[in-house]
Chains A and B, each alone.
Chain A
Amino acid sequence: MQLTLWTYEGPPHVGAMRIATAMEGLHYVLHAPQGDTYADLLFTMIERRDRRPPVTYTTFQARDLGGDTAGLFQEACRSAYERFKPEAMIVGASCTAELIQDDPGGLASRLGLPIPVIPLELPAYQKKENWGAGETFYRLVRALARPRETATSIGRPRCNLLGPTALGFRHRDDVMEVTRILAALGVDVNVVAPLGARPSDITRLGDADFNVVLYPEVAEPAARYLEKTFGQPAVRTVPIGVGATRDFIAEVARIAGVSPVLADAASRLPWYSRSVDSTYLTGKRVYVFGDATHALAAARVATSELAFDLVGLGTYSREFGREIRAAAARHGIEALVTDDYLDVEAEISALRPELILGTQMERHIAKRLGIPCAVISAPIHVQDFPARHSPQMGFEGANVLFDTWVHPLMMGLEEHLLHMFRGDFEFNDRTGSHLGKTHMPAAAEAAAAEPVLASPPSQPGPTAWDAVAEQELRKIPFFVRGKARRNTERFALERGITTITLDTLYDAKAHFGR
């Protein structure tokens, strides 16, 4: 048993729902107890979809268990077919139904429905959401995709875009961005799948010359199958960041046999990053956590396009642990591969980065620790399904990354300046700020100025601060003050210094100075 407060990923059948909901004309019949329909609201609320996910649940109850749950499942399949008339159906069990062993695949096939019915085996006690999505997409492709009829391709080269799903972080806009780049290169898109595809579109996957793997977590198993079966090569560079987008263009050009048009002017990131205003970004200590695809991309952008220092890199995607470890090793750090947020929180607390790039969870950890943060990966909340165009991929995606990541730092700087000038006669608590009411009672302010986790629980040994040193400590920007305090106290403790003076503070600073 694993003690869990919250989880980065849902169960694998939620991954299957992400595929079904992304597509049109596909219906998912899920053998599941009453209550599992909660997952519908992820799609209707977080992603704000205007339709119910195409999922029929058997919603069996305790009184059904002694009886004919298999019959209940068949009835659900039959009436779902009658009502929705899908082109194809996927059937499977959620975690509880897995335990009652009704065999959805066999039961559904016995109904003799006049459409393809694809059974899913999603081991709920071993695997998770992204694996479920990848497996479901692979099963669909395996069952439906046909090789192309004429052996050779005619006209412009064509590719499939594989991997975008429902509930995907910025998938909607990434598809638009990548399609635009491909068009500029003279490459047509044959099928985008699963997002917006019908089962009949999946049958046409074989018509393309090659595949583009947008999100390896979802698309890799299907891409590997298409590579092996139809001989379609796959583009595997994920175009997040300017450098990666250029590499992506080069890879597409090589595989498609077209000339690599580098639309450099399309991204403002290189110039913005070079402008003197960005100099203060140099060496900012950044912590990166997310799904493997976005974490790897963010690490590259952060270090080589914004000149941050990477102090931590991690993922909850265990399937990609090797890639993440290799990338971390290139930066001389050790990767954190975990799905326990307490591990992530502990590491962030210890490393005290100046910026966190992570998921919704890291956003909350950052808030508690008072560290600037930007979201780069699912799981995400409703505000990360924005109305405006905001891709992560391609040159426009790079613009979005620059703004999104630098914004919280600017805010952090602004807040720091507010604190620094607080002592000035014209900018004190009584005068208030033109930015709004920021006045706090002195005691509450003193408490709030130190983040709770910044001062460690009382350590053995006396490490008192004299008044002058304490005063000096308060002049250090609040977002690094906790670290300075801790380092100084550790320094004093190791040297048997009982009272920390101004000299101790600066000796420690010289000792730990980065």
Chain B
Amino acid sequence: MTPATDTLARAGSAGCTDAPIIQERGQREVFCGLTSIVWLHRKMQDAFFLVVGSRTCAHLLQSAAGVMIFAEPRFATAIMEERDLAGLADANEELDRVVARLLERRPDIRALFLVGSCPSEVIKLDLKRAAGRLDRAFAPRVRVFNYSGSGIETTFTEGEDAALAALVPQMPDEAPGAAPSLLVAGTLPDVVEDQFRRLFADMGIARVGFLPAPRLADLPSVGPSTRVLLAQPFLRDTARALEERGASLLSAPLPVGAEGTTRWLQTAATAFLVPRELFQNVTAAGAARAERALLRHRTALAGRRVFLFPDSQMEVPIARFLHRELGMELVEVGTPYLHRTHLAAELALLPEGTRIVEGQDVDRQLDRCRQAAPDLVVCGLGLANPLEAEGMTTKWSIELMFTPIQGYEQAGDLAELFTRPLARRQRLAV
């Protein structure tokens, strides 16, 4: 049996592996980590996310969740009031009261996350302790976890990282001497998760777990025989927590685009000694379909210049996809945070000399963007319409977190997210 070797990697130069990353500090136009609750709660069906914060936090969730807020979602805010700030003992009693009322009303909840916010962190309300206390009070029916989604500590998707890291201690131990298992970490839309599940099964990788799981009771096990494949780029703390449980991390580009998906799957195949021929057989059809789907978009995008503002840490993988598979030129790739080790395989694939900026000073970045006059700007909703009014074509970035974009079958959809605004601008005659 010949294991599949990574024939795709290490072709050409080392890309941006050792490239300097420009650090920028100043005003940041980004979401805080609380926002990730909006997609996390859809994935974890017996979990409830209770933010302990201010009216601002509740207002943010409402604005980010749009109409979803009216479908009896499993998240809420315990709004701190003047009297909660007066004395800390009071705040704990208040929290217990709110949680008791909540769990009484929602008997279906098995996992309760107490989510820290800027106000609760600044007044040093000890939510970790509160979670421990409530966990003892409601066990075994409900387990209570804690993490911070505050803006002072987390940017947008880092909220998911913090939530998943809080879940890791709850994962069962892998049986001693168990055969190697694969753990895919990072929230993926159900449709994408199912596609990957089928591909791994067809490759003969028998034991595959996904974090997060739809239910608390279904959390996959973890231990020294676990190989972790990151499905998202922003899982710094989760990866560390998994490593502390003995798991080892596989280094791969993210499953974005046809090439990214092949390389990502290949990394798992190599680690699990999947025969090369089998790997080819399993992936060929999907890869070919993805290539076909991308062809049309390549015509529209090749040679166009794209500028990415920082938002979710997806910017580097997306830029790699736009450049290598669609032929776009990268003017600037902004990211709120860059984890060099986790993104090593991605950085190697970026063209040499790419301008990568970590952090933000939004006004200066806007100056650079205007100066460069790119064909397409990937940015948040606070900037998109103002830039359109200035004559630029934009793609709002938050859609990349809410739309299924990973895997072969979604590669064309992902490309279309970028061609659509350009096509629209071309068609409008008013």
Contacts and interface: CB of A to CB of B under 8 A. Distances in A.
Contact of A3 (B59, B76, B380, B386): B76
Interface of A is mostly: mixed
A7 B84 contact: no
Query: What are the 10 A-B residue pairs with the smallest beta carbon separation, nearest first?
Result: A35-B32, A35-B151, A50-B389, A40-B382, A96-B118, A364-B70, A95-B54, A41-B381, A34-B151, A10-B59
Given A11-B55, A124-B56, A125-B85, 12 more contacts: A1-B79, A1-B95, A3-B76, A4-B78, A10-B59, A13-B56, A37-B30, A39-B59, A41-B63, A52-B386, A95-B119, A125-B80
A96 B382 contact: no
Contacts of A425: none
Interface string B358-396: 000001000000000000000011111110110000000
Contact of B82 (A57, A125, A361): A125
B56 A44 contact: no
Interface of B: 27-35, 52, 54-56, 58-64, 67, 69-70, 73, 76-82, 84-85, 91, 94-95, 97-98, 101-102, 118-119, 121-123, 150-153, 155, 363, 380-386, 388-389
B27 A11 contact: no
Given A1-B94, A14-B59, A36 B386 contact: no
Contacts of B152: 33-34, 60-62, 64-65, 96
Contact of A1 (B80, B123, B380): B80
B80 to A, nearest CB: 6
A61 B59 CA distance: 20
A74 interface: no
Given A1-B81, A38-B63, A62-B121, A125 B58 contact: no
A131 B102 CA distance: 29
A35 to B, nearest CB: 3
Contacts of B382: 37-38, 40-41, 44, 52
Interface of B is mostly: helix
B227 to A, nearest CB: 33
Given A34-B152, A83-B363, A42 B63 contact: yes
Contacts of A388: none
Contact of B384 (A14, A44, A65, A99): A44
Contacts of A3: 76-79, 98, 101-102
Interface of A: 1-7, 9-11, 13-14, 33-42, 44-45, 48-52, 56-62, 64-65, 76, 79, 83, 94-96, 99-100, 123-126, 128, 361, 364, 368, 381
A125 B28 contact: no
A11 B388 CA distance: 29
Given A2-B78, A60-B152, A62-B152, A38 B85 contact: no
23 contacts: A1-B80, A1-B81, A11-B54, A34-B32, A34-B151, A36-B32, A37-B29, A38-B32, A38-B35, A38-B63, A40-B382, A44-B386, A51-B386, A52-B382, A52-B386, A56-B27, A62-B152, A64-B152, A83-B363, A96-B151, A99-B123, A125-B80, A368-B70
B385 A44 contact: yes
B120 to A, nearest CB: 10
A166 to B, nearest CB: 14
Contact of B27 (A76, A95, A100): A76
Contacts of A34: 28, 30, 32, 151-152, 155
Contacts of A76: 27
A50 B385 CA distance: 6
A99 B119 contact: yes
Contacts of B119: 95-96, 99
A39 B55 CA distance: 12
Nearest to B64: A38
